[in-house]
Chain A
């Protein structure tokens, strides 16, 4: 074969490879765009505050990028933290809360001119109904710190994750007030349309680590194996949008769609249907991201629950407006009577 012919073939081959690569990228993008938009997640479970962006890799797998928070450490030293307790303090009779570490909080506890809060959400629950503004200011102190380095360009939606259902209403009620302060947008704030997801401490979400690509979510049923320690094998069965778990005595590896291994050994080669998590933290992150990913595929039941809540609120508002009309009538009658008396 002549050299020129060989070069031609080479060029043609490179062209074909580029076309093929382009097709793969388009296929991955098409898969991703049907089911996934990047999310800002504010995880407030276990009394801690952590934020991260969930995004997609080119292969369609989901991953989290931490978004650090700046807090005031002991001796007033500023420090950046990926996960921090929800502590804050302020000088009494002032409005500005300062987000701080536990160490800094201990310093401030002994100073009587300061007011301290060990857990922002617990404190929010103790406030009376008509004092939502205090919580809003406190809440804004936290979220404002987070967004000081945040342009809001790398996510489309915000999700708050809590493990106590009682705090859901106070977060939901404060979002409209805090939202526009955070991204300074009027009427179209990502924060104002934030979702609040409650993952109760009793809810086992470990199976959701298996749902870590948009394609995984399209399945209606699956059988997975979780190896999370040398003597622990748990079968996670996904059916009708729910996971159920069973401990396994004997294992037939071939029957599982996927196998997850958490930090037991470092396999030299990871088999195709195996997810390997080097440590428990990475596994927990995968569980949470998988769960949120699944949660966003809002099912009809959740929509119906929210619709019922909307109808109830509409009825409550109608009743309240009738009450207000009654009060207006009473107020006017009293004013008329008093006018008559004063004229006599």
Chain B
């Protein structure tokens, strides 16, 4: 009974460690994507600034 508990504990521990690594990997992927999104967002803002005049000028017109 005790030995079964220990083997179950070791299996669970291994599973927990695997999940921890998956979580770390997912964090790394998200970090990369957030950086890409920030870059695209900046490019988008720059494109808007190029195609449309600033809001203040449009209000004056």
- Chain B residues with a Cβ under 8 A of chain A: 2-3, 5-6, 8-10, 12-17, 19-24, 26-27, 29-30, 33-34, 36-37, 40-41, 43-44, 47, 51
Cβ of A335: which chain B residues have Cβ within 8 Å of it?
Answer: 40
Known A-B contacts A193-B14, A334-B44; A324 and B20 likewise in contact (beta carbons under 8 Å): no
- Report how many A-B pairs have Cβ atoms within 8 Å: 88
The secondary structure that dominates the B interface is helix
Q: B23 contacts A316, CB within 8 Å?
A: yes
In the complex, which residue of chain B has the Cβ closest to the Cβ of A342? B47
Q: In the complex, A35→B1 CA distance in Å?
A: 11
- Chain A residues with a Cβ under 8 A of chain B: 34-35, 132, 172-173, 175-176, 192-193, 195, 296-300, 302-303, 306-307, 309-310, 313-314, 316-317, 320-321, 323-324, 327-328, 330-331, 334-335, 337-338, 341-342, 344
Cβ of A297: which chain B residues have Cβ within 8 Å of it?
Answer: 2, 5-6
Of B3, B16, B36, which is within 8 A of A310 by CB? B16
Q: In the complex, A157→B17 CA distance in Å?
A: 17
Cβ of A338: which chain B residues have Cβ within 8 Å of it?
Answer: 40, 43-44, 47
Cβ of B33: which chain A residues have Cβ within 8 Å of it?
Answer: 324, 327-328, 331
Q: A321 contacts B26, CB within 8 Å?
A: yes
Of A302, A309, A320, which is within 8 A of B16 by CB? A309
Cβ of B15: which chain A residues have Cβ within 8 Å of it?
Answer: 310
> Other than the known A303-B12, A338-B40, what 6 A-B pairs have Cβ atoms closer than 8 Å?
A314-B19, A317-B19, A330-B37, A331-B40, A335-B40, A338-B47
Q: In the complex, A75→B46 CA distance in Å?
A: 61
Chain B nearest CB, measured from A236 CB (Å)? 22
In the complex, which residue of chain B has the Cβ closest to the Cβ of A300? B5
Cβ of B14: which chain A residues have Cβ within 8 Å of it?
Answer: 193
Cβ of B3: which chain A residues have Cβ within 8 Å of it?
Answer: 34
Q: B5 contacts A303, CB within 8 Å?
A: yes
* Residue contacts A-B, CB under 8 angstroms, 14 given: A173-B17, A297-B2, A297-B6, A298-B6, A298-B9, A303-B5, A306-B16, A310-B16, A310-B19, A317-B19, A331-B33, A334-B37, A338-B44, A344-B51
Cβ of A320: which chain B residues have Cβ within 8 Å of it?
Answer: 23, 26-27, 30
Cβ of A132: which chain B residues have Cβ within 8 Å of it?
Answer: 24
Known A-B contacts A316-B23, A327-B34, A331-B37; A175 and B12 likewise in contact (beta carbons under 8 Å): no
In the complex, which residue of chain B has the Cβ closest to the Cβ of A313? B19
- Among A297, A306, A342, max chain B CB count under 10 A is at A306
Cβ of A298: which chain B residues have Cβ within 8 Å of it?
Answer: 2, 5-6, 8-9
Q: B21 contacts A176, CB within 8 Å?
A: yes
Q: A313 contacts B47, CB within 8 Å?
A: no
Chain B nearest CB, measured from A116 CB (Å)? 28
Q: In the complex, A132→B28 CA distance in Å?
A: 13
